[in-house]
Amino acid sequence: MSANWRPATLSDKDTPGGGPPGRDGEAGVLTRTRTRTQRPPLYKVLMLNDDYTPMEFVVHVLERFFGMSHAQAFHLMLTVHKKGVAVVGVFSFEVAETKVAQVMDFARRHQHPLQCTMEKE
């Protein structure tokens, strides 16, 4: 390794080795690192229709666990009822997982078959 070796910086532009090119035959390894941050993946939480869970229970779930107004919750419940499934929110993996667990537990404790799942966006 040459005596004046130093890591490449942005000011080194494309000069290999971070100094004047190749006086002593440096390999010319570019060490600039990528600094762009990756956004975390997002997950859709889906509510599924069934024939038994009362409409008012689903409205309550959407208000309680997804922070919706009564009007928003009622409208989305009707969408699930008519179409079979709807996205009720988009979250990080951990938040989506928690919402699904809360809904499933709440439904089970009230003996309703309501199903809630998540999938990567």
Site residues (vs ligand TYC, CB under 6 A): 47-51, 53-55, 58, 77, 80-81, 114
Q: Of 99, 39, 42, 43, which is closest to residue 67 (Cα–Cα)?
A: 99
Q: Smaller CB distance to ligand TYC: residue 53 or 89?
A: 53
Smallest distance, ligand TYC to C-beta of residue 107, A: 9
Contact 74, 61 (CB under 8 A): no
Smallest distance, ligand TYC to C-beta of residue 73, A: 11
Q: Smaller CB distance to ligand TYC: residue 8 or 59?
A: 59
DSSP reduced 3-state for 37? coil
Residues 76, 99: Cα–Cα separation, whole Å:
16
